[in-house]
Structure 1
């Protein structure tokens, strides 16, 4: 990976990830056991991909650059 992911609060601190729309993975079974992603559109986190556990939406999110996320997911294909 080109850069290590960063960990930030997802919904416990709305100033860190303001106004993001979380999307559930299409691989989710409906049992709330997958990941959700969001793309901050403005501010210092714009252009990064936020990823969180759908079982814990108030928990932390990891932030990836687009390149790092591509590298990360390529491992599991």
Structure 2
């Protein structure tokens, strides 16, 4: 598997998160972010159950340009 690093939170300094990648083979998007707090997880699980092997993550609004770039890379290959 080869991942293309798209970028990370411009305000994260030397810390690694949040960040975004695109899987070069499948064009899947991968995100690293903050695990959502219990209130957020409870609210989101009203719409979709959250299995034990999944988690809700929070990515800050300031990462929208990075996420758009990841979407473009995945779409255009």
Q: TM-score, normalised on structure 1?
A: 0.32
Higher helix share: 2
- With structure 2 as the length reference, what TM-score do the two structures score? 0.32
